[in-house]
Amino acid sequence: MSHTLPLPEFAHERVEVVTGRRSGLFLAVALHSSVLGSALGGARLWTYPHWSDALGDALRLSAAMTLKNAAAGLDAGGGKSVIGLPEGTVLDAERRRAAFLDLGDAVEMFGGAYRTAEDVGSTMDDMAVVAERTDHVVGLPDVAGGSGEPAGPTSLGVYESLRAVLERATGSADVAGRAVTISGLGQVGGRLATRLAAEGARLAVTDVNPARRALADDLGAVWVEPGTEHALVSDVFVPAGIGGILTDEVIDALDTRAVCGPANNPLADHSGAQRLADRGILYAPDFVVNAGGVIYLDLEAKQLGERDEIMKRVAGIGDTVRRILRDAEERGVTPLAAAEELAAGRLSAGANHAEALAR
């Protein structure tokens, strides 16, 4: 079977692709940039139709982490790891443990230039297994002396971003009475839905896992079939599942004022940002919106502040979104372009500093 998406342009410092010696699974660790410091990015466990899809995901996600960490003001580069499952594969406990031991070995090959953490499909407990093979892992369980689950900080950053988007689109940041559609009720999307429901938002939700309908019922949210959610009328559409959901066809059918969500790389093509702008739909770039978890993990690991101070830094993502939206409007560019330029400025300064030190 051929891969479903073309491999992105290769601009990475280092990529290692291995077959796990214990699990027999495909593993890719991609270090995109270490200009700003040791790279940080999670480990994704996902099912792919072809190994090249898993590799492409690692390449795209690691590049997005470079932008995310730079735009967030972190002294951290961008990287990502992926464990690719062939279609139809179900891991038992023994093989799952083997996969994350293999991942630990692969991360250790980078000698600290890349640090991993949990991501889609992986957990804190999986990271504890990784830690048996390498010290270069963050987000370990609290009981193991780690910083714990990053989904809470990520959802806080998305919430504050959504408020900033509403403020720009409607004149008020208040979520009460606003129609919000959430596509994906995982760790982050579920937390966001719970908070928005408590504050009086009118929710429509969906997930590829039908068991998540129970949460929708608990929250009094409208459940819609996956693949149809983008056509609902909403104030904000929240992509909170896997990437690539915003194809040209989906963008043309969107009936919303704004898009703001935690899914990595929700645009199927970079040109989608302009397509959204042409339709008058406000777009908050994903790598800014979903940076709460990585801010939390990086600052906790480096012990740069007490936990409440770090969470205030996470909440500040809303102000970053406001700055980007304002800058985009003033300069007549898309918010994605404005966010990329913010990140590029930090990366350029970091590269110049490194060059100066090397002289």
Q: CA 262, 192, 85, 250 torsion: positive or negative?
A: negative
Strand positions, DSSP E, the chain: 14-19, 26-33, 39-40, 43-48, 77-86, 114-115, 179-183, 202-206, 222-223, 233-239, 255-259, 282-283
Strand positions, DSSP E, 136-274: 179-183, 202-206, 222-223, 233-239, 255-259
Given the residues 68, 80, 302, 312, select the one marked as catalytic.
Answer: 80
CB atoms within 10 A of CB 4: 12
Name 46's bridge partners: 84
Q: CA 148, 39, 133, 111 torsion: positive or negative?
A: negative
b/e burial code for range 238-265 (CB count within 10 A of at least 16 → b): bbbbbbbbbeeebbeebebbbbbbbbbb
φ/ψ of 247, rounded to 5, equals -80, 170
User: What's the Cα-to-Cα distance from 62 to each of 12, 233, 314, 327, rounded to whole Å?
Assistant: 9, 33, 21, 26
Number of residues that make up the chain:
359
The two three-digit tokens of residue 119, written as one number: 């991501």
Report angle CA 334, 340, 240 to the nearest 5 degrees: 80
With 0-12 CB in 10 A as exposed, 13-18 as middle and 19+ as buried, what is 88?
A: exposed
Catalytic residue at 302? Answer: no
Q: Which residues are known catalytic residues?
A: 80
